[in-house]
């Protein structure tokens, strides 16, 4: 039996043991690499600025110590020792001016580091937001049914910010750490302080090793707390979006108590993280203080044991100043390592969560390279069969064949689960048929301003071109944040003001708009909350009038309206349907009484049970008559 322990994943796809993952680190570094590749000069300038700043910071104590050496020499000797070499710069003022130059250069490089890393992290954040949005708009509709919207928003806003902040901390600090340590130990070696350099290297190795183990423990607790925080964030997003339910139920106190309880769970999960983080920080602080103290005590003991003379003591005292500063610099770098690792951990986990949005591969493609369709004449469903991808064994629509002829109106009726809305989703290519083809016959662009009547499988067609010829009115009107102009033009961005106004007049919306203080410039708010249900539907109808499609799909367009408003809206819909091929997903008699053909679907994948006009079906014994007599189609 294999002894290899299988990793268990939590609901976010992370290892439950929360062990370090090279995969997560790789995703983080990959995102940094992509941004660096597209901003080569900026990234190179950032690296050079960090290296130069760290190098100057490490060299500053050396130059300052040389100023003290020059003062001690008092122009007695023609040269003084600088690392491994003798130099004729024996005046202390020369070293003082050199110190000032280094300070000025440090100020400049510090500004350059902050400017370049700020700009680089901003570009990374914007690039990832754009990447997420590009991936989301190209993703299958099914993806959004399975992913909580609050989770998407958290990753789009919170995780991209965490990634940018993590990069900002990680890149600069790790370069400062590595450059500073190498420079400081090199100065010790070149200053003939081999013992000190060896001691510093061993001490650093031990401190970093222990700190890293403590950090791993702290990191695991931190991620557990973050998971709890994300649960709270997603729940609060969901509750805010359902605020009308809370208000209408009078459950404000219940929700407050429930949120307090959830935050208490998050609070308890955060306690171990804070405890281990405090232990880690205390260890680092103590290690920093202890190293300098150990060295000074060791030097004092050596001086006493060797009975050193005054000149030797003066020389050792000068060296101690340099060594103490270099040691402080080294340990400062160690202290910087902990927040660096912490920010890198947050960043790599943010990169992992972002990848959960960007890595899923869609199954439906836009086929931009295919010929554009200029006119839809007819649509034929050839033996199509459908089951949802996540439930392939449950057949929603059995093998079905039907043709929607140009200019005719069709209606699908049936009980819940009969697959009538599935027809609309297949025609919009939200899903692909499990079997069969959807053939589109129409005029296709063949170049040089010419068109040719052809039939193409919707699977292989230029999808944006096809959808530009399709109008869709659904039960829940889709309103974007903006004014009336923006919302109505969403179907046709190049439309003139006059064309928009004509469309609103056809939809019987114009008079309402001009009665508002700001008229067409009125901001509708999120999801059009300023409008009633009927006004929202009229806006969508105006949008479709402006689009002037060949195929019109009405998916229970009036089911959310009361009878009076429904009759008013149905007049606009009837006008909209004139001269177009229309497919109506029906739930009431008023929406299908005048269509050319009614298709009755059976529940639980039974498919087409009856086809005919309203007058024909009402006289025949069958499913439609039963629905009508039961009042389900009234």
d(CA 397, CA 418) in angstroms, rounded, equals 8
Please tell me whether residues 379 and 346 are part of one structural domain: no
Q: What is the 3-state secondary structure (H, E, C) of 333-390?
A: HHHHHHHHHHHHHHHHHHHHHHHHHHCCCCCCCCCCCCCCEEEEEEEEEEEEEECCCC
Question: Exposure of 98 by Cβ count < 10 A (0-12 exposed, 13-18 middle, 19+ buried)?
Answer: middle
Q: Per the domain annotation, does 367 fall within a domain? A: no
The sign of the torsion formed by the CA atoms of 291, 297, 302, 308 equals: positive
Residue 600 structural domain = 373-633
Please tell me whether residues 354 and 400 are part of one structural domain: no
Q: Are strands 435-447 and 373-386 parallel, antiparallel or unpaired?
A: antiparallel
d(CA 280, CA 213) in angstroms, rounded, equals 9
d(CA 334, CA 340) in angstroms, rounded, equals 10
Q: Alpha-carbon dihedral of residues 148, 154, 155, 161, nearest 10 degrees? A: 180
Please tell me whether residues 269 and 235 are part of one structural domain: yes
Whole-Å CA distances, 293 to 150, 289, 385, 606, 616: 52, 7, 79, 85, 100
Contacts of residue 413, defined as CB under 8 A and 6 or more positions apart, other chains included, come to 420, 586, 587, 592, 598, 599, 600, 601, 624, 627, 633
Q: What is the DSSP letter of 218?
A: H
Q: Is 621 helix (H, G, I), strand (E, B) or coil?
A: coil
d(CA 609, CA 453) in angstroms, rounded, equals 33
* 551 CB-side CA count, 13 A: 26
Please tell me whether residues 41 and 121 are part of one structural domain: yes
d(CA 575, CA 307) in angstroms, rounded, equals 110
Contacts of residue 334, defined as CB under 8 A and 6 or more positions apart, other chains included, come to 177, 204, 207, 208, 211, 284, 287, 288
452: domain CATH number?
3.40.50.300
Q: pTM here? A: 0.69
d(CA 24, CA 31) in angstroms, rounded, equals 11
Please tell me whether residues 130 and 53 are part of one structural domain: yes
Q: Per the domain annotation, does 512 fall within a domain? A: yes
Inter-residue contact 179 to 336 (CB < 8 Å): no
Q: Which of 359, 391, 424 is the last residue of a domain?
A: 359
d(CA 141, CA 364) in angstroms, rounded, equals 9
Mean pLDDT of the chain: 79
H-helix segments, 490-553: 497-506, 510-515, 533-547
d(CA 34, CA 40) in angstroms, rounded, equals 10
Please tell me whether residues 387 and 419 are part of one structural domain: yes
Q: Per the domain annotation, does 409 fall within a domain? A: yes
329: domain CATH number?
1.20.1560.10
Two tokens, residue 48: 């050079």
Picking from 456, 405, 458, 403, the residue whose alpha carbon sits closest to that of residue 430 is 458
Q: Per the domain annotation, does 579 fall within a domain? A: yes
Picking from 61, 584, 497, the residue whose alpha carbon sits closest to that of residue 321 is 61
Q: Is 562 helix (H, G, I), strand (E, B) or coil?
A: coil
Helix, strand, coil % in the chain, rounded to nearest 5: 60, 15, 25
Q: Per the domain annotation, does 3 fall within a domain? A: no
Picking from 374, 371, 84, 326, the residue whose alpha carbon sits closest to that of residue 203 is 326
Please tell me whether residues 283 and 392 are part of one structural domain: no
Q: Per the domain annotation, does 520 fall within a domain? A: yes
Please tell me whether residues 355 and 394 are part of one structural domain: no
Inter-residue contact 497 to 449 (CB < 8 Å): no
Residue 19: per-residue pLDDT:
46
d(CA 307, CA 309) in angstroms, rounded, equals 7
Residue 633: per-residue pLDDT:
52
Please tell me whether residues 447 and 496 are part of one structural domain: yes
d(CA 13, CA 9) in angstroms, rounded, equals 5
* Mean pLDDT, the chain cut into blocks of 10 residues (634 residues total): 45 44 70 87 91 83 75 63 64 83 91 91 88 84 68 74 82 81 78 74 80 76 72 76 76 84 80 78 77 68 58 55 67 71 75 78 86 92 89 88 92 85 91 92 88 92 92 84 90 90 89 91 79 84 89 77 66 79 80 87 87 89 82 54
Two tokens, residue 625: 């008559």
Two tokens, residue 531: 């409008």
d(CA 463, CA 505) in angstroms, rounded, equals 30
Please tell me whether residues 320 and 421 are part of one structural domain: no
Residue 105: per-residue pLDDT:
92
Question: Exposure of 478 by Cβ count < 10 A (0-12 exposed, 13-18 middle, 19+ buried)?
Answer: middle
Please tell me whether residues 322 and 418 are part of one structural domain: no
Q: Per the domain annotation, does 1 fall within a domain? A: no
What is the tens place of the pLDDT at every residue in 185-197?
787 777 777 777 7
Residue 296: per-residue pLDDT:
67
Q: Per the domain annotation, does 13 fall within a domain? A: no
Domain count, the chain: 2
Q: Which of 331, 359, 387 is the last residue of a domain?
A: 359
Q: Which of 359, 387, 407 is the last residue of a domain?
A: 359
Please tell me whether residues 454 and 480 are part of one structural domain: yes
């Amino acid at each position: 039996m294999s002894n290899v322990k299988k990793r268990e994943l939590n609901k976010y796809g992370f290892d439950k043991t929360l062990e370090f993952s090279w995969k997560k680190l790789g995703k983080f570094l990959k995102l940094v690499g992509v941004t660096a590749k597209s901003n080569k000069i900026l990234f190179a300038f950032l690296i050079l600025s960090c290296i130069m700043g760290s190098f100057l910071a490490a060299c500053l104590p050396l130059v300052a110590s040389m100023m003290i050496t020059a003062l001690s020499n008092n122009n007695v000797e023609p040269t003084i020792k600088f690392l491994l070499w003798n130099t004729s710069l024996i005046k202390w003022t020369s070293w003082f001016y050199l110190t000032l130059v280094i300070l000025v250069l440090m100020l400049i490089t510090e500004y350059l580091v902050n400017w370049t890393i700020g700009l680089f992290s901003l570009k990374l954040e914007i690039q990832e937001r754009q990447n997420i949005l590009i991936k989301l708009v190209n993703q299958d509709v099914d993806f959004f049914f399975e992913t909580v919207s609050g989770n998407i928003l958290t990753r789009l806003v919170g995780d991209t910010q965490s990634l940018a902040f993590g990069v900002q901390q990680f890149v600069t600090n790790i370069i400062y750490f590595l450059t500073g340590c190498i420079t400081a130990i090199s100065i010790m070696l070149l200053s003939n302080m081999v013992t000190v350099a060896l001691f510093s290297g061993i001490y650093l190795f031990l401190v970093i090793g222990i700190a890293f183990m403590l950090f791993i423990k702290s990191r695991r607790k931190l991620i557990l707390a973050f998971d709890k925080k994300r649960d709270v964030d997603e729940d609060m997003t969901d509750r805010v979006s359902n605020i009308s339910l809370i208000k209408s139920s009078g459950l404000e106190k219940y929700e407050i108590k429930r949120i307090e309880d959830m935050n208490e769970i998050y609070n308890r999960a955060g306690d171990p993280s804070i405890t281990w983080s405090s232990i880690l920080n205390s260890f680092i602080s103590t290690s920093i203080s202890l190293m300098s103290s150990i060295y000074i005590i060791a030097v004092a003991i050596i001086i006493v044991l060797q009975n050193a003379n005054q000149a030797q003591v003066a020389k050792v005292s000068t060296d101690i100043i340099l060594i103490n500063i270099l040691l402080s610099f080294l340990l400062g770098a160690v202290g910087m390592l902990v927040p660096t690792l912490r920010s890198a951990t947050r960043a790599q986990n943010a990169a992992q969560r972002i990848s959960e949005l960007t890595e899923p591969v869609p199954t439906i493609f836009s086929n931009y390279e295919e010929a554009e369709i200029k006119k839809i004449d007819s649509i034929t469903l050839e033996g199509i069969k459908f089951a949802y991808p996540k439930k392939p064994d449950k057949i929603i629509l059995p093998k079905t064949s039907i043709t929607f002829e140009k200019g005719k109106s069709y209606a699908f009726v049936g009980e819940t689960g009969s697959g009538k809305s599935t027809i609309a989703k297949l025609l919009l290519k939200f899903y692909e048929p499990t079997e069969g083809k959807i053939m589109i016959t129409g005029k296709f662009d063949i170049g040089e301003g010419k068109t040719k009547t052809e039939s193409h499988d919707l699977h292989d067609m230029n999808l944006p071109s096809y959808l530009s010829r399709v109008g869709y009115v659904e039960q829940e009107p889709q309103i974007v944040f903006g004014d009336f102009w923006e919302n109505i033009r969403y179907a046709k961005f190049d439309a003139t003001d006059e064309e928009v106004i004509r469309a609103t007049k056809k939809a019987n919306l114009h008079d309402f708009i001009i009665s508002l203080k700001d008229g067409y410039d009125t901001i509708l708010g999120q999801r059009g909350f300023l409008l009633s249900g009927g006004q929202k539907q009229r806006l969508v109808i105006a949008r479709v009038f402006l689009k002037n499609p060949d195929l019109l799909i009405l998916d229970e367009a009036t089911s959310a309206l009361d009878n009076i408003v429904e009759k008013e809206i149905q007049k606009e819909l009837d006008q909209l349907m004139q001269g177009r091929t229309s497919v109506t997903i029906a739930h009431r008699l008023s929406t299908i009484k005048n269509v050319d053909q009614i298709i009755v679907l059976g529940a639980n994948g039974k498919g087409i049970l009856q086809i005919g006009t309203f007058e024909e079906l009402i006289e025949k014994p069958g499913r439609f008559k039963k629905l009508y007599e039961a009042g389900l189609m009234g």
